[in-house]
Amino acid sequence: MSSHTHNHHHDPQHIKNISNRLSKAIGHLESVKRMVEDDRDCSEILIQLSAVKSAINKCGNEILKEHISHCIVHAVEDGDDKAIVELNEAIDKFMKNS
């Protein structure tokens, strides 16, 4: 777990929005699991899995935007250069798995 020297607080509405998006993605993934268990058509399952991946990627994009516009701005203001390195590592991992 990383520890930054800057204050790391997010807007409660942003947290709620991301949490809601993730809850929807989880619900969608659970329905895909039921499709597999019900031996549904593979093509249908793949299409639904693609929708789940898209929803998760959109969450990641929103988190990334928030991180850059708030956390990174504050980190730079506080002289926390480590935050930029960690951001680049996180982007690399996120993009690798997209």
User: Which tokens belong to 63?
Assistant: 């988190």
Residue 87 has pLDDT above 50, yes or no: yes
Q: Which residues contact 83 (CB under 8 A, 6 or more apart)?
A: 4, 6, 71, 72, 75, 76
Domain positions in the chain: 12-96
Residue 28 has pLDDT above 80, yes or no: yes
Q: What is the mean pLDDT of the chain?
A: 87
- Distance in angstroms (rounded) separating the CA atoms of residues 80 and 78: 6
Residue 26 has pLDDT above 90, yes or no: yes
Percent of the chain at pLDDT exceeding 90: 51
Q: 12-96 has which CATH code?
A: 1.20.58.1000
